[in-house]
Structure 1
Amino acid sequence: MSGEFAGLAAVVTGGGSGIGLAVARLLADRGAAVACLDLDPSGVPAPLHAIGCDVSDADSVARAVTAAVARLGGLDVLVNNAGAGAQGTIEANPDDEWHRVYDVNVVGIVRVTRAALPYLRASSAAAIVNTCSIAATAGLPGRALYSATKGAVQALTLAMAADHVGEGIRVNCVNPGTVDTPWVRRLVDAAADPAAEFVALRARQPIGRLVTPAEVAAAVAYLASPLAAATTGTVLAVDGGMHGLRMRPAAPTAARTDHHPHP
């Protein structure tokens, strides 16, 4: 295999669809042997390895990581991409839902990384990339629970980077904006006016469109690559400019004031 990931082994959680599957495919295209861990890995194509995994269950995680390492012959790259969505203000979700989403989005990263660390420590090109979100840094309406978990993921990423830099393990995260995934499409379809909702989601990103899974995958691949060996503790936004740009609305078209004299 050719590419900067040739000879390396990667595990991608949430690799059954959307961003995770795009990441897995790109890493494989660049030479990596890749295992996709997912609640439903039935859509994972060869040559990717499909492994069932529930990141909210420690035993399931331990079995899945062990199986992945056995199939791949080791582990060099871990992409913590599995996550759960949530909508509403702080009043919209009961305590049980807050605990459930935190358990997947935050503690899920802890479980998988904890299981992977013994193998990553044996790698000379160890890298962890966590999928975070623009919701970690921008106040988005109706996303209180989801935003809180992603804020935790960003803070966790920096803490992990500090803890493991001395072991040669790099830890970074990507902060996507609104990505055109099956999950986002389901949210749009559930809106009172799906067409208007889709237009609004596109308009809030300065580039005027949704981010593609392939664009997020390219950022993950950069952070995971041995070519980025000096990059750790970095938060890379792939959000169409949402986090930093403050665009002025287009000015209304001025009425014509020129007049032609009568002949």
Structure 2
Amino acid sequence: MTGASRGIGLATAGHLRNSCEQLILVGHTKGPTTPVTGTGAAAATYQVDLRSPDERQRFREQLAAREGPPITGFVHCAGGGMPAAVEDIDGQVLRDLFELHVVAFVELARDLLPAMRRSEFGRIVAVGSLAPLRPRSFMIPYAATKAALRAAVQCLAAEVIGDSVLVNCVSPGGVDTDLGRAGRERLVRLFERQGRPSPPPRQEDLPRGRAVEAADVARAIAFLLDPENEVLAGQDLVVAGTHLMR
């Protein structure tokens, strides 16, 4: 699982610790340890900057040399990106986000698929976002790269459905994490800079008006990973109350 050192990935690692034989956790920052120690799954942790092709290559080589049971589940939680006005968008930041959200997902899924096919079982889940589903101002870098991730998920889902490998996306909205709060604060400032009122939070779309928590997203991911899920594939499961209904 990528993005395991904070936010949704950290919550998911904790949620899965008693349902997996082993967790392989990848984070940009050192860790995690707390959610996966003690009872439950053993955990192997790797510190990798998935924006870097060289670091991804080294990690993929480590993964290929690993001994142990085949990896039949892959969760791509790694994510980043902050709101920006179009005139402020840095091309390198845009390329880094594409590497992080899309290229890392495709490379790791490609590497893991042979073992899933041999096992005739696999579950792949990527964490998307409401951003490409409800486009808004100042979200080009994040929304565009998350949209590309969503497309990659659905293309892959169609390609491997005959191999009993199910690929899905979970798209949360307004999650109460450090990254989410920082993004919302910057968005307000960008609207203010243009003299425009920022859209108010739609708390009425959530049960009792509470924020979406990382644990809510972790439960959705676990549902799609469950071996008892034998039919959901190519889906985008929105975790945002009634904020988006299709």
- TM-score of the two chains, using structure 1 as the length reference: 0.78
| C-alpha displacement of 1:72 | 4.9
CA distance in 2 between partners of 1:58 and 1:114 (Å): 15
Q: Structure 2 residue aligned with 1:110, among 106, 109, 126?
A: 106
CA distance in 2 between partners of 1:167 and 1:57 (Å): 31
Is 1:30 paired with 2:40? Answer: no
For residue 150 of structure 2, give the secondary structure of its aligned residue in structure 1: helix
CA distance in 1 between partners of 2:133 and 2:24 (Å): 30
- Flag the structure with more relative contact order, 1 or 2, with Cα contacts below 8 A and sequence separation at least 6: 2
Contact 1:15 1:37 in 2 (8 A): yes
Aligned pairs for 1:47-86 (under 5 A) are 47-68=42-63, 70=66, 72-86=68-82
Structure 2 partner of 1:224 = 225
Structure 2 partner of 1:250 = none
CA distance in 2 between partners of 1:141 and 1:204 (Å): 22
Structure 2 partner of 1:244 = 245
Q: Structure 2 residue aligned with 1:136, among 132, 152, 174?
A: 132
Q: Does 225-234 or 67-76 show the bigger shift?
A: 67-76
Contact 1:21 1:36 in 2 (8 A): no
Deviations 1:136-162, CA, capped at 9 Å, x for gaps = 211233212211111111111110001
Structure 2 partner of 1:166 = 162
CA distance in 2 between partners of 1:86 and 1:187 (Å): 6
CA distance in 2 between partners of 1:120 and 1:63 (Å): 22
Structure 1 partner of 2:194 = none
Aligned pairs for 1:124-203 (under 5 A) are 124-188=120-184, 200-201=200-201, 203=203
CA distance in 2 between partners of 1:117 and 1:61 (Å): 17
For residue 49 of structure 1, give the secondary structure of its aligned residue in structure 2: strand
Deviations 1:168-196, CA, capped at 9 Å, x for gaps = 2110000101111121233356665xxxx
CA distance in 2 between partners of 1:37 and 1:72 (Å): 17
Deviations 1:42-77, CA, capped at 9 Å, x for gaps = 233324321122222344334434545726532010
Deviations 1:206-249, CA, capped at 9 Å, x for gaps = 4423211111011111111111011111110001221129xxxx
CA distance in 2 between partners of 1:57 and 1:118 (Å): 24
CA distance in 2 between partners of 1:72 and 1:177 (Å): 36
Task: Please give the root-mean-square deviation of Cα atoms over the aligned residues, in Å.
Answer: 2.7
Contact 1:26 1:218 in 2 (8 A): yes
CA distance in 1 between partners of 2:69 and 2:57 (Å): 16
Is 1:40 paired with 2:29? Answer: yes
| C-alpha displacement of 1:117 | 2.1
CA distance in 2 between partners of 1:140 and 1:56 (Å): 25
Alignment-mate amino acid for residue 243 of structure 2: M
Deviations 1:94-150, CA, capped at 9 Å, x for gaps = 322222211211112112212222332233331100110111211233212211111
Alignment-mate amino acid for residue 241 of structure 2: G
- Alpha-carbon spacing, 1:244–1:20, altered in 2? closer, same or farther (3 Å): same
CA distance in 1 between partners of 2:118 and 2:49 (Å): 25
Structure with higher Rg: it is 1
Count of matched residue positions in the alignment of Structure 1 and Structure 2: 231
Q: Which runs of 5+ in 1 are unaligned?
A: 1-11, 246-263
- Alpha-carbon spacing, 1:88–1:204, altered in 2? closer, same or farther (3 Å): farther
CA distance in 1 between partners of 2:184 and 2:103 (Å): 28
Structure 1 runs (4+) deviating above 6 angstroms are none
- TM-score of the two chains, using structure 2 as the length reference: 0.83
| C-alpha displacement of 1:36 | 0.8
CA distance in 1 between partners of 2:117 and 2:58 (Å): 19
| C-alpha displacement of 1:25 | 1.6
Alignment-mate amino acid for residue 22 of structure 1: A
- Alpha-carbon spacing, 1:151–1:22, altered in 2? closer, same or farther (3 Å): same
